[in-house]
Amino acid sequence: MGQSDSNGENTNPCRFVQKCPMYPQFKNEFGLRMFKLTYCESTNFPQCARYKLASQGTMPPGDLLPNGRTLARSTQ
């Protein structure tokens, strides 16, 4: 399945990665990529604000970012 390097870079993506409602909100491809690398496609996904809400059964708004900010604010 995933790659298993000797570097310890074991990819363990978030289970919402296939259908995260945040993705279509992004017009800035670079910004989205940064979030994917930092949260969605890394072992840090449990720290994602969206993931925390979704795991508790609350669907987060589409513009909530993994760092707890909203998309509108971060792209001033």
Sites of contact with ligand SF4 (CB under 6 A): 14, 16-17, 20, 22, 39-40, 45, 48, 50-51, 54, 66
Contacts 24+ apart (CB under 8 A), 1-9: none
Q: How far is the CB of 12 from ligand SF4 (least distance, A)?
A: 11
Q: How far is the CB of 6 from ligand SF4 (least distance, A)?
A: 26
- CB of 65 closer than 8 Å to CB of 23: no
Q: How far is the CB of 51 from ligand SF4 (least distance, A)?
A: 4
